[in-house]
Amino acid sequence: MADNLYSEFKEHSVAEFFKKNRQMLGFSSKIRSLTTAVHEYITNSLDACEEHGILPEVFVEIEQLGEDHYKVTVEDNGPGLPKKLVGKAFGQMLAGTKFHRYIQQRGQQGIGATGATLYSQVTTGKPVKVRTSMGNGKIYECTLVVDTKQNAPKIESEHEFNGAYRGTRVEAEFKDVNYNKSEYGAFEYIRRTAMANPHAKITFIDPLKEKIVFDRVSDKIPERPRAVLPHPLGVATDDLITMARITQARKLSSFLQQEFSRVSSAKIDELRQLVPTIDMGKNPHALQWEEAEAITKAFKTMRWIAPEMTALRPIGAGYVEKSLQNVVKPEFVAVIERPPKVFRGGVPFLMEAAIVYGGAAGKPAEEGRKAEILRFANRAPLLFDAGGCALHNVVKNVDWNRYGVKDFENQPISVFLHMVSVHIPYTSAGKQAVADEDEILKEAHFAVMEVARHLQRHLSGVRRKGESERKRKEFDKYIPFTAAAIAKLTGKEPMTMEDLSKLASKEGKVLEEKLAKIVNERFHEVIEETDEEELESNGGNGESEKVESGGGEDA
């Protein structure tokens, strides 16, 4: 019986796995599938441009060919691909430059674009078409599919010709997909990409042939991201062993200094004190698990300079604010950037956060607007899997009441949260949710609290101003009467309210103006929180006296 069973034992390629489980790559619902394809192509284009110091110009077109049938074209002015790598880039999974580098980039898996090819071929039976040139006068064009059994590209046709072009253009047809302008659609994906990439120009032609240009708001070519050495804080024993096995260094001490960030010879001396039985002169290839474990433990007890900031490229508070101002014309914006930290394996990361309130902040609801969470990872928008995303859940779990925001869900608020790192720990190959790593949760929480406090100060200012304004208006109503009454006290006869009212508009004028002035001055200075009841109970009686005595104190 068991033999029957095991005769079926087989090995499968990663492409077969993702073909069967394409929902893990983000190819699940119709809307999401189209957005995923657009997302994979655009992130590749932006990564390639950024790495080569090119100001990106990305052209995206989505054409409708039939019901649930669309064609996506993405073209960039990037560096282009060498002919021999086109197949691997679009037709083989886990192949590429991105996987092993310790560098901030949007893609990091070498799966995405090939996943799109796979989805195109399984829904339409057609290959994708790629045209690329490295600007050397030669243009290479081919059509290809993925051979899923082998996880290898299958070039169906190719030709090369002369021409002046630099960049990469991919055209792919998809069925069982759909386009709309919802918060999950390709349009929103592109809009948010523009928001997080102020240096990129993105031209989008939608299925109705409407052309939308997201122009760059910055002409500054962003600094190229740099690969960095891992930080000793949080480095795992296994990482240390793996690195020790392949290092060129001859001694353990030089290995640690060369292959880790922030390890100086002074730090090696400190380490020697902590793990005296380990010979720092030994060949790192001979490093044993127990020794490596002792070193990583010791690392955690030592004081270290923060990881190198230079590896991380946040968008920058100024640009975030500009983007948000442009899009939502809010009443209030606050943007903050947290200092870099490390998570698991010494991976440096930082959080950029913003909060936007009022105006067109939040998202439209049946009545008014609702709170919205704008998540980004390495400048790529995260639209899906919110419920499983650390960034989303941190925002949701903030006790917004504490920050003066009642009923958070139904407020015109956008919370912007951007994680920047040399490695984003996505929960799934679909790259739409960040995993619950303790250090990430903590930093995200701090980031949101920080912008929430800014909003709180703003709101309590507004509230105090509003209350003060209301009080002043109440007082204003009594000013004429008070003025008239005072006029009377200074020599006239008792009057009816009508007379008083009449008088207020004539003889009381001078005093009235003086009183108004006193009230105004007072209410620009004395700002105190007054609760609703107090205000209401004061509304109807005795206001004029209060003003008088108040005016008296100020004078």
Binders in 406-445 for a second copy, by CB under 8 A? 423, 425-430, 433, 435-438
Q: Give me the helices (H) in 13-66, please.
A: 14-20, 30-51
Closer residue to a second copy in complex, CB, 63/437: 437
For residues 273 and 248, the answer to whether their CB atoms sit within 8 Å is: no
Cα–Cα distance for residue pair 136/132, rounded to 1 Å: 11
Closer residue to a second copy in complex, CB, 2/266: 2
From 160, 215, 238, 536, residue interacting with a second copy (rule: CB under 8 A): 238
CA atoms within 13 A of residue 252's CA, in its CB half-sphere = 21
One character per residue 1-20, x = contact with a second copy (rule: CB under 8 A) = xxx-xx-xxxxxxx-xx--x
Closer residue to a second copy in complex, CB, 12/181: 12
Closer residue to a second copy in complex, CB, 121/544: 121
Query: Token pair of 348, please?
Result: 């440096």
From 104, 178, 193, 393, residue interacting with a second copy (rule: CB under 8 A): 393
Interface positions, 128-167, toward a second copy (CB under 8 A): 134
CA-wise closest residue to 260 among 174, 348, 190 = 348
Cα–Cα distance for residue pair 222/208, rounded to 1 Å: 33
**What contacts 385, CB < 8 A, 6 or more positions away?**
427, 428, 430, 432, 433
Interface positions, 449-508, toward a second copy (CB under 8 A): none
Strands 201-205 and 57-66: parallel
Beta strands in 310-383 (DSSP E): 332-337, 341-343, 347-357, 363-364, 369-370, 372-377, 380-382
| CB of 166 vs a second copy, minimal distance in Å | 10
- Using CB under 8 A, which of the segments 271-279, 314-322, 383-391, 513-521 binds a second copy? 383-391
- Using CB under 8 A, which of the segments 192-200, 234-242, 312-320, 413-421 binds a second copy? 234-242
- Token pair 């090696």 in the structure block, residue: 268
| CB of 53 vs a second copy, minimal distance in Å | 8
Strands 69-76 and 166-175: antiparallel
- Using CB under 8 A, which of the segments 56-64, 236-244, 448-456, 541-549 binds a second copy? 236-244
| CB of 156 vs a second copy, minimal distance in Å | 13
For 319-336, the three-class secondary structure string (H helix, E strand, C coil) is HHHHHHHHHHCCCEEEEE
Closer residue to a second copy in complex, CB, 145/519: 145
Strands 372-377 and 413-421: parallel
From 123, 197, 247, 411, residue interacting with a second copy (rule: CB under 8 A): 123
Closer residue to a second copy in complex, CB, 390/500: 390
For 46-67, the three-class secondary structure string (H helix, E strand, C coil) is HHHHHHCCCCCEEEEEEEEEEC
- Give the DSSP H/E element, type plus range, for residue 411: none
| CB of 479 vs a second copy, minimal distance in Å | 47
Cα–Cα distance for residue pair 474/537, rounded to 1 Å: 12
| CB of 465 vs a second copy, minimal distance in Å | 36
Closer residue to a second copy in complex, CB, 109/501: 109
Please report whether residue 28 would count as binding a second copy according to CB under 8 A: yes
Interface positions, 64-103, toward a second copy (CB under 8 A): 79-82, 85, 88, 92, 94-97, 99-101
Please report whether residue 114 would count as binding a second copy according to CB under 8 A: no
From 144, 292, 394, 451, residue interacting with a second copy (rule: CB under 8 A): 292
Closer residue to a second copy in complex, CB, 100/463: 100
Cα–Cα distance for residue pair 368/410, rounded to 1 Å: 8
From 73, 109, 203, 254, residue interacting with a second copy (rule: CB under 8 A): 109
Closer residue to a second copy in complex, CB, 6/491: 6
Cα–Cα distance for residue pair 22/117, rounded to 1 Å: 12
For residues 474 and 523, the answer to whether their CB atoms sit within 8 Å is: no
Q: How many residues does the chain have?
A: 555
Closer residue to a second copy in complex, CB, 126/472: 126
